[in-house]
Amino acid sequence: PAVDWDAVRAGLRGLNLITAPGQRRQLSKDFYWYSPILTAQLAGCMADLVVKVSTEDDVRQAAAVAAKWKLPLTVRAGGTGNYGQCVPLAGGIVLDVTQMCRVLDIQDGRMRVEAGARMHDIDLMARETGQALRMWPSTWHVATIGGFIAGGFGGIGSFRHGILRDPGNLLHARVMTVEREPRVIELHGDEIQQVHHAYGTNGVILDVEVALSPAVEWVHCTVLFETYRGALDFGIAAQAPALDIFLLSTVEARFSPYYTAMRDRFPRDRHAVFTMVSPASMADFRALADAHGGTISVAGTEAELLAEGLPPAYECAFNHTTLQALKADRGWTYLQVAYAQPFDPAVVERHLEIFGDDVLQHQDFARAGGECGTFGILLVRWKGEAHQYEVIREIESQGGCRIFNPHVVTIEDGGMKTIDTQQIEFKKRSDPMGLMNPGKTRGWHADMAVER
């Protein structure tokens, strides 16, 4: 039956509704434009209605209305995801949770916050107690903690603390179901995996408790090398357990023209390692850089760098590398790679050789499952879809490299490769009618839906 939009609006009475097409269009997009494939695919996707919620009761009311009218419901937070995660493929309601942003409690080693809180904001609150978030994406001024858990994997800080799914990082979450009488489900510790990186397909995360660590005034460093191999070898050596490092990323010289704010600190003929090092490790870090023939061109706190007009190290790493390049040249796109361990820099040297000017190299080091991992976010010249998939096939053909494809919208095609049956089982409880963010998981089929 056709949706009676007047009745829907009546059901949502009291909530902040956005109906203007321009705003609805804007609130139906994220950073998928990094991918020309997704840009074409998602161009026409738009919510019929955006609902801005501020409280748990607001979420309950919206979820009940979505269930009653069988409307697709897609949660949107900061909207900084790269794969169209919060783009409503089938229209319906977009639920904007950014006004659910209160800090609920801060204790030693933990913080409980509403899911729509921006990560930079809550880190500032934690710092007032001498503590800090363990990890965050470089988009943390806009990105929310709920969006990070539902759409992300790890980021700045993962070299020290592992990725989100590693034990001890996520402590507790409360999730609202989407059914006629929505319920709240509590998830503790490892149970949070059920909603982690599920793209909001199985419940609305209301609030979360995350682990904090004692705050450190990190020294943002840039170390320059004559060869990219030199930068990579230093990156491997800097994994020594004695060094306390928060961020460790290598970026090759051809990115230099895009890093205009770095000026002569990242010249065109040098390859760079961007790091955040604890003050206590700086002496050892300098000695290691020296031993590897590296030159430290930047070393200062974030405030000191900003005073000099230099970007913080975290805006020179992870997917900010792609952003820096795209700001100047929209002819680029990107690919994400996970390298086999122990990491062999010869694999990257081979890619430098075979791809020439089509692919620019950048690697981030992070711990995952207690082990050191190496991940690449490569800048790839856009020469059409066929060429993009040729590059993917070539990279995956040797050296145990795995591509996390950023040109697709489903969880499974993007990187998880297999359907997470735990998440699908949880979806049967939290979204029994299959209304949440439809089309984003291959594990759900229309015939699994039950009316509730």
Contacting positions for ligand FAD (CB under 6 A): 30-31, 74-82, 85-86, 97, 115, 137-139, 143-144, 146-148, 150-155, 199-200, 204-205, 318-320, 323, 437
CB atoms within 10 A of CB 350: 15
Q: Which of 165, 146, 121, 133 is closest to 59 using CA atoms? A: 146
Q: Which is nearer to ligand FAD, 320 or 407 (CB)?
A: 320
C-beta separation of 164 from 149 below 8 A: yes
C-alpha dihedral, 174 to 146 to 48 to 4, nearest 10°:
0
C-beta separation of 136 from 339 below 8 A: no
Min separation Cβ 399 and ligand FAD, Å: 23
Strands 16-18 and 49-52: antiparallel
Min separation Cβ 268 and ligand FAD, Å: 23
Instruction: Indicate the residue whose CB is closest to ligand FAD.
Output: 147
Q: Which of 106, 75, 79 is closest to 92 using CA atoms? A: 75
C-beta separation of 411 from 440 below 8 A: yes
Listing DSSP states for 336-362 in one string gives EEE--SS--HHHHHHHHHHHGGGEE-E
Q: Which is nearer to ligand FAD, 156 or 253 (CB)?
A: 156
Q: Which is nearer to ligand FAD, 213 or 227 (CB)?
A: 213
Q: Which is nearer to ligand FAD, 247 or 289 (CB)?
A: 247
Which tokens go with 408? 């697709």
Min separation Cβ 114 and ligand FAD, Å: 9
Min separation Cβ 283 and ligand FAD, Å: 29
Min separation Cβ 437 and ligand FAD, Å: 5
The DSSP 8-state label assigned to residue 342 in this structure reads: S
Q: Can you name the residues that pair with 114 across neighbouring β-strands?
A: 207
Q: How far apart are CA 367 and CA 154, in angstroms?
A: 10
Q: Which is nearer to ligand FAD, 138 or 250 (CB)?
A: 138
Burial label for 356, CB within 10 Å (0-12, 13-18, 19+), is: exposed
Min separation Cβ 362 and ligand FAD, Å: 12
Min separation Cβ 421 and ligand FAD, Å: 19
Q: Which is nearer to ligand FAD, 321 or 388 (CB)?
A: 321
CA 332, distance to chain mean position in Å, is 20
Q: Which is nearer to ligand FAD, 212 or 377 (CB)?
A: 377
Min separation Cβ 247 and ligand FAD, Å: 10
Rg (CA), the chain: 22
C-beta separation of 192 from 173 below 8 A: yes
Q: Which is nearer to ligand FAD, 174 or 351 (CB)?
A: 174
